[in-house]
Structures are given as structure tokens and as C-alpha cells.
Amino acid sequence: MPRYALKVEYDGAPFFGWQRQTDLPSVQGAIEAALAKLEPGPHTIAAAGRTDKGVHGLGQVAHCDMSRDWTPFRLSEALNYHVKPAPIAIVDCAPVPDTFHARFSATHRRYLFRILCRRAPATHSRGYVWQVKQPLDVDAMRAGAAHLLGKHDFTTFRSTICQSMTPVKTLDRLDIAQVETDYGTEVHFDVRAQSFLHNQVRSFIGTLERVGTGSLAPDDVKTALDARDRAACGPVSPPHGLYLAQVGYDTPPFG
């Protein structure tokens, strides 16, 4: 049974997350429905990460098993046709060995989070950034983020409904950049780890935003981390500024 890796881009706004939902729209459900139009029978795909409601995908990776051989071009074109009008695109497709698993073969996930700092309401970027009205102190946020790098018990930054077996994770990267645009200042967070806890990135961003406004000091991030208490976390950021940007593998499926 041939297996294919799919690189998937999607607007998370109309979906109740990646994972298939009963009677609710999901990215997984839309792609599986498109696959059923290509080959009869139920289809189940697996993804590198189960993004939450409203979270976007730039480089999500999933895999599917087909009954017959497809050229990658024909499979991606057919899926893009049948998934319409959902805001989903298969931007790459490649045959992979049956030992490849989109989730379990992944060596890292990288997320992008965008904050727009301006008082005027966002128009074109509404739903794709978290808008705050005041400037943020990027240097202070970087100092706070430094406390999160490395291997830690991230209980403070873990959702109460997280199903991970352990709160201990290793954060490889949390870079913060200020980006000047014609429509305002954006702050971008580039976050990378092998795997993440539920709501971990959004919890990081919500706490660091408080540091950026001066409500918290950079060292308060370490205090919150060491507390291992969800109550010590800042407010969780909204989902619509978050993007699953990239998934890494020892052998990249798309060349």
C-alpha cells in the first residue's frame, strides 16, 4: 500500500483544529473527505501536530496510505481540487517508505507567532496576528525567554487538559524579532522543540507579552517556570497569531 507525505498549508479560522471532529469542521476531516473522492473507503491520515482551533498551518506534514500508485503531482492536484472551497492547500507531496510516520518520525517542530503592535484596528491581517495597542520591549522579552531555553519541567506552561505523559520537554529555540512594516510593527516569535505540550507555545507568548508591556519583569518568567504551577502562567495568547511553520525529519520527505 503506497504511502505519501503531504505538506499542508491552511487557514485555521474556520476549523475546530486539525483533528477530526464529530459534526464540526476540521482540517483532517476535510483532507480525508477529499481522499475518499479519489479512492473509495474510509481514510485516516496522521499529522505531525494537532493544531488547536484557529491555529494556522504553513508547513504541517501528514501522511496517507493509498490503494494504488499515484504520481505526487497528480495526487496533490487532485486533493487540491476536491478539498475546495476549504482554505487548505497541499503544497508538496512525495512517496515515502511505510516506516515513515508524520508524527513519530519527526525530529522537531517549529512554530511562528505574530504580534502586531498598533492602535488602529487590523484589517488585512485581522485573524492572522494577535494585535496589541502598545509597543513591546523586545529586549526584556528576550531576557525573559532565555529562562525557558533547555530542558525543564514546563508544568506552568501546560494546559490542564494536556495528555502528554510528562511535562518535561527541551526547548531548542525561542527567538524574538521586531519587524518593521508599512502597516505597523510586528513582533515575531520563532519557537522550536522536538515536541510541545498542549498550549505550551501560546502560554509562553502570553507570559512574554506581559514582560514586553512591563507588567512582569524578565526574571518573573523564571519564577513562574520554577513554580510548576499553572496559576503562575500569564494569560494564554489567542490562537490566531500562531502558525505551525515547519516540521523536521532526519530524512526530509520533500527533498
88: Cβ contacts below 8 Å, ≥ 6 apart: 8, 9, 10, 11, 27, 30, 31
User: Is pLDDT of 130 > 90?
Assistant: yes
pLDDT score, position 22: 87
**Is residue 11 among the annotated active site residues?**
no
Q: Is the pTM of this model over 0.75?
A: yes
Question: What mean pLDDT, rounded, does the chain reach?
Answer: 96
Q: Is residue 253 part of a domain?
A: no
Q: In terms of domains, do 90 and 127 share one?
A: no
Q: In terms of domains, do 113 and 225 share one?
A: yes
Among 57, 86, 104, residue at a domain's last position: 104
Convert the pLDDT of each residue in 10-61 to its tens digit: 999 999 999 998 889 999 999 999 999 999 988 999 999 999 999 999 999 9
- Of residues 68 and 162, the one with the higher pLDDT is 68
Over residues 217-221, the mean pLDDT reads 98
User: Which residue is it, cell 504541517?
Assistant: 60
Count structural domains, the chain.
Answer: 2
Convert the pLDDT of each residue in 229-243 to its tens digit: 999 999 999 999 999
Among 104, 139, 167, residue at a domain's last position: 104
**Which is catalytic among the residues 11, 52, 69, 182?**
52
